[in-house]
Amino acid sequence: MAKCVSCKKSAQIKIAFAPFCESCFLKHYQNRVERLIKKFKLIKEKDKILVAVSGGKDSMSCAHVLSKFRQRFKFEMGVLHIDVGVSDCTNENTENIIRDFCNEYKVPFYLLKIKEYLGLDIKEVSKKIRRPICSICGMVKRYALNKFARENGFNKIATGHCADDITLLFFKNWFSYYFDWIAKFKPIMPSNHPKIVTRIRPLFECLEEENLTYVKLNKIKIAGCSKYSYSVRKDKLKEILKLIDSKKPDFKINFVRALERVEIKVKEPDSIKECIKCGEPTDKEICGVCRLKM
Amino acid sequence: MAKCVSCKKSAQIKIAFAPFCESCFLKHYQNRVERLIKKFKLIKEKDKILVAVSGGKDSMSCAHVLSKFRQRFKFEMGVLHIDVGVSDCTNENTENIIRDFCNEYKVPFYLLKIKEYLGLDIKEVSKKIRRPICSICGMVKRYALNKFARENGFNKIATGHCADDITLLFFKNWFSYYFDWIAKFKPIMPSNHPKIVTRIRPLFECLEEENLTYVKLNKIKIAGCSKYSYSVRKDKLKEILKLIDSKKPDFKINFVRALERVEIKVKEPDSIKECIKCGEPTDKEICGVCRLKM
């Protein structure tokens, strides 16, 4: 029987690189997030942080671990769930699961329905302009999340992006030469325009499997995968990262730690304007969402 | 039986991503190198290019393919073999193999013995300062190569670094946070100091297996591996890259093509001085080689 790397008692948990007992794992997880928060100054006193929660293990871990840090770091938080209004992407219970979580941990809960908030039917638009739903959905959610946070007095947005997501996104964007995107893969993306809310990624150095263990141990209910869930989509690069894991379990952690330090030159660092239609920040004349509506 | 992707006759050769017949493979290989030379302006008329040749498949391919391009691009070339003077690293036949190659293809051959040229016994220094031979050897070879090229009127140095090397070096340096090195992984590294000779890497987009096929088809003799040869050393990252190959044979090619485009910020782009002891370019007061001698 493996022994906990920390207390040497018997380990029930085997995370990529080390075995843990339950209580040491939880300490390890919280310490890792806390160190990141301090190192990159993710949180300041009196911050109002809106956590974007899909209901999956990553965002639920993010909301939970931040809720535990409220007193220590003296900030306020709220949870936002975005209903994209696409039936295939909506698990009926998701809203209730997140609402229950927020009640239990005394976190204000916000629900944003894309159809009502932006007057946009993603499925219809997808058919009309013949682009896959997922390619529209990400952009629309980023837009709505930023707008909602700003309009409701939040000065930061937290997402549950973890080391697995970041590594995968690095390679996807690398092979597409989207270096301006890669340059933004940092634990904190400070606002560079009055209408853009600073983003933080407290789980930048956490692994998916750590998040899964974290929600299990804390008995946090999570929503099931929907048809288009990130985690159920097949992907060659994802397969490759799994293979790498089996050979080098610290690959992803070390990869994102290097990514924290590297600085990639971007073409137009500060060309953000306001959309002439809706006033939201964009690097074009008309923002992506307004173009969808045209 | 697989068919050649190019002429549709039967293919004898299966390179990572495509089957080829022998003559189409050779065309494909030469085209790839030629495209790179043109795209990055690696070679100009009247260039004098010194090709660093260890005797392995990569550097022999580099010397051979460049020798074929002499007329087309109107440049002169020489071949330099560096004898590091470490018996474990020296294959007795290497010098003869390279000399024969140079005779056959009418290329001036230069031999540089580190012991005589720099008055430095790498094996002794390695013992004295307790650093592994390989960690010293690379630095000493870079120093000698640059000095020799400059002193002998060459305005460019060509090395046989291929996509496999570059990808592996990327990850090695990434995990060590050596981003200033990664920033230099380009098909051409222009001189940034009067004493530094421009470096070109004509095989930047070629695979090791392509080089091996190229030397076989051209019946070019290559030297066997020595004890410390790069290719015989065990390496976890190399194993991982092999695994990736099996899933995504175009990974390395696409990886280096992205690397050609990305621009990484470096800390001190132009802090090159001349060593106060030997006058060679260095970013320190005293260069690495002179420090070895102290």
Would A80 be classed as within a structural domain? yes
Return the residue of A nearest to B263 by Cα. Answer: A265
Tokens of A120: 């946009």
How many angstroms away from the CA of A170 is the closest CA of chain B? 12
CB contacts of B248 in chain A (<8 Å) are 236-237, 240
| pLDDT tier, B232 (very low <50, low <70, confident <90, very high otherwise) | low
Tokens of A9: 């008692």
How many angstroms away from the CA of A249 is the closest CA of chain B? 12
What is the count of structural domains for chain B? Answer: 1
Percent residues over pLDDT 90 in chain A: 78
Using CA atoms, how far residue B221 sits from A213, B78, B251, in Å, is 56, 18, 29
CA–CA separation, A235 and A231 (whole Å): 10
The answer to whether A17 faces chain B, any CB pair under 8 Å, is no
Convert the pLDDT of each residue in A263-280 to its tens digit. Answer: 999 876 668 999 999 999
Please name the helix (run of DSSP H) or strand (run of DSSP E) that holds residue B113, with its range, or none: strand B109-113
Q: Are the beta carbons of A240 and B247 separated by less than 8 Å?
A: yes
The helix/strand/coil state of A29 is helix
| Number of other residues whose CB lies within 10 A of the CB of residue A2 | 13
- Gyration radius of chain B's alpha carbons: 19
List, in sequence order, every residue forming a beta bridge with B79; answer none if it has no partner.
B51, B109
Query: Is residue A163 within 8 Å of residue A204, measured between CB atoms?
Result: yes
CA–CA separation, A221 and A100 (whole Å): 9
Tell me, what's the pLDDT at A267? 77
Would B100 be classed as within a structural domain? yes
Convert the pLDDT of each residue in B108-152 to its tens digit. Answer: 999 999 999 999 888 888 888 888 888 888 899 999 999 999 999
Return the residue of B nearest to A255 by Cα. Answer: B175
Tell me, what's the pLDDT at A173? 95
Does the pLDDT of residue A222 top 70, yes or no? yes
Return the residue of A nearest to B237 by Cα. Answer: A248
Cα B151–B152–B153 angle (5° rounding)?
95
- Residue A94 belongs to domain with CATH number: 3.40.50.620
Q: Give the pairing of strands A109-113 and A76-83.
A: parallel
- Which chain B residues in 221-260 lie under 8 Å from chain A, judged by CB atoms? 236-237, 239-240, 243-244, 247-248, 251, 254-255, 258
Which of B177, B247, B261 is nearest residue A177 as measured by Cβ atoms? B261
Residue to mutate among A170, A173, A174, A239, with most B CBs inside 10 A, is A174
Convert the pLDDT of each residue in B252-266 to its tens digit. Answer: 999 999 999 999 998
Q: Are the beta carbons of A263 and B177 separated by less than 8 Å?
A: no
Mean pLDDT is lowest, of A50-59, A62-71, A79-88, B143-152, for A79-88
Would A35 be classed as within a structural domain? no
CB contacts of B263 in chain A (<8 Å) are 179, 264-265
Convert the pLDDT of each residue in A91-116 to its tens digit. Answer: 778 999 999 999 999 999 999 999 99
How many residues are given for chain B?
A: 294
Would A1 be classed as within a structural domain? no
Residue written as tokens 């409701």? A152
Would B10 be classed as within a structural domain? no
Would A16 be classed as within a structural domain? no
Would B1 be classed as within a structural domain? no
| Residue range of the domain that includes B175 | 33-293
CA–CA separation, B83 and B239 (whole Å): 29
Would A136 be classed as within a structural domain? yes
